[in-house]
Structure 1
Amino acid sequence: MTSTNKKKLIAGNWKMNGSLAANAALIDGLKAGMSHPACDVALCVPSVYLAQVQQLCAGTAMHLGVQDLSTHVQGAYTGEVSAAMVKDFGVRYAIVGHSECRQYHGETDELVAKKAQAALAAGITPIVCVGETLTQREAGQTEEVVKRQLAAVIHTNGHCISEIVLAYEPVWAIGTGQTATPEQAQAVHALLRVQLRAASSQAERIQIVYGGSMNAANASALLAQTDIDGGLIGGASLKAADFLSIISAASELSV
């Protein structure tokens, strides 16, 4: 079955990059080259820049996103930022479970599921990341790993699963210059779609985006795949021309 949700999502993940001057220059470049894209566009920025980017993006087609959030609503959790706090800045998306958070911060599948739950409770769409390492892929464990990671989110969030965005990001293809072939990526996206169908009657409307070194050169081929509903863009989102090129490719394939 073909996915019926044809509107793509292109979300930029700035990671730990940016400055007041660089952010302003980047967004000026994006505004100059973007009018009314047919796809959804989001900028997931470091939380310290939310106020600036909210102001710069006001009145544009670009939605605001964050790269992480706390499972807690408030309290004695020094250094953490809650969903309610970022909601104050008009945040629409929150990346949860990015492979870097899983690797460097020891985030478990269960914690990622709770972060997705916290985002949903605040009316924020979580971009839930799943993906395998090179060792896991070479061991033939890709299916087992991504299904386990998604199953935890489904278990915690139940019928609300239809409100998430799912991002497949093969860890071996993040920031390495390596990219899954369109066929490799589509195979995993199709697998995830089947798992979502078993959990929700609204599975076809869930955007499943690809997040492994998508760039201006390979975006069209990846986005043309049946179950690839957009991209979670890292390095290319820091270059206005490259990000605009990906948005253009996605817009051409969006209905």
Structure 2
Amino acid sequence: MTKKAPLVVANWKLNGGTDLICTSVASIRNQNFNVQVGIAPPYVYISELVTFLRNSPIMVGSQNVSKFESGAFTGETSAQMLKEVGCQFCLIGHSERRQVFLENSESCRTKVERALAAGVMPIICIGENAQQYEMGLTRDILYRQLHHTLEGLSLNGQSLAVAYEPVWAIGTGRAASVEVVGEVHQFIFDELVVMLGEDANSVQILYGGSVKKDNAAELLAIDHVDGLLVGGASLDPEHFVQICRVAGTG
């Protein structure tokens, strides 16, 4: 099976500032990683990062997007607004959004549609928590998240990615085993084929959850692991650079 070119995305979450932007840009701007690299900073730094990376292949994205197009929705940012400031992708349905802000798969579906309509690539995040994992409910949870978000969707040649982030692995230093990741990513791919047909072959499936330079190569060697969503390790610019280098030599 031919592997897709890896996509490595940094999710800074509610971290960073001008210092992190400057050190990150200095570390990655002139690198040739042989992979597609993206950074999702907090909203207020998106325009600044787009400006610094304007002549670079590094993509800039958002950690979220509104399900609304416009109107009296204080604090929201639409997909069209993100597109206008230079965003190329957006994360949708990250576990922290689902848990802390009570987002559900139905709202994620609307966000996916808004992003695609604006020409912004959605990266749909799915994953089970520790209790669900221990109860053997991983496939049930992922099935519902995937089908509620993507069933009946038409890509029309547009880009889409899915990120599997087991909640019990995020920020814990405990990445899922090779066996678990392999089984889950195969399951995700099979469900994408059911829902999207031939379009499934163009969807990149990322793994996230305690990704580091030491396990990046092992993870990317697994079938249907087409890239990585990196959280805490992306806040160390040199560490993130090393993950990108590993991804580009696979």
Q: TM-score, normalised by structure 2?
A: 0.95
Q: Secondary structure of the residue that 1:91 maps to in structure 2? A: coil
CA shift in 2, pair 1:212/1:228, >3 Å: same
Partner of 1:36: 32
Q: Cα–Cα, structure 1 residues 56 and 172, in superposed 2: closer, same or farther, change >3 Å?
A: same
Q: Secondary structure at 2:192's aligned position in 1? A: helix
Match of residue 10 from structure 1: 8
Q: Give the partner amino acid of 2:76.
A: E
Distance 2:119 2:243 in 1: 27
Q: Give the letter for the 1:20 counterpart.
A: T
Matches within 5 A, 1:160-199: 163-199=159-195
CA distance in 1, matches of 2:135, 2:18: 44
2:237 to 206, 231, 240: 240
Indicate the residue corresponding to 1:81 in structure 2: 77
- Identify the match of residue 93 of structure 1 among 81, 86, 89: 89
Amino acid at match of 2:53: C
Number of residue pairs aligned between Structure 1 and Structure 2 = 249
Cα distance in 2 between the residues matched to 1:204 and 1:158:
14
Instruction: Indicate yes or no: 2:221 matched with 1:228.
Output: no
C-alpha contact (below 8 Å) 2:164/2:207 kept by paired residues: yes
Higher RCO structure (Cα 8 Å, ≥6 apart): 1
Cα distance between partner residues in 2 of 1:41 and 1:188: 23
* 1:57 maps onto 2:53 in alignment: yes
Instruction: Kindly state the Cα deviation for residue 250 of structure 1 after the two structures are TM-superposed.
Output: 1.2
In 2, distance between residues paired with 1:239 and 1:159?
Answer: 35
Distance, in Å, in 1 between the alignment partners of 2:140 and 2:157 is 20
User: Structure 1 109/92 Cα, relative in aligned 2: closer, same or farther at 3 Å?
Assistant: same
Identity between Structure 1 and Structure 2 (%):
36
| Alignment-mate amino acid for residue 249 of structure 1 | V
Deviation string, structure 1 residues 11-58 (Cα, Å, up to 9, x no partner): 000000111223212221223xx5222111000111100111011112
Report SS of the residue matched to 2:61.
Answer: strand
**Hey, what does 1:129 align to over in structure 2?**
125
User: Which amino acid letter does the alignment assign opposite residue 223 of structure 1?
Assistant: L
Relative to structure 1, the CA distance from residue 207 to residue 223 in structure 2 (aligned partners, 3 Å threshold; closer, same or farther) is same
Gaps of at least 5 residues in structure 2 are none
Structure 1 contact 68–96 (Cα < 8 Å) conserved: yes
**Alignment pair present for 1:147 and 2:146:** no
The aligned amino acid for 1:25 is T
Match of 1:210 in 2: 207
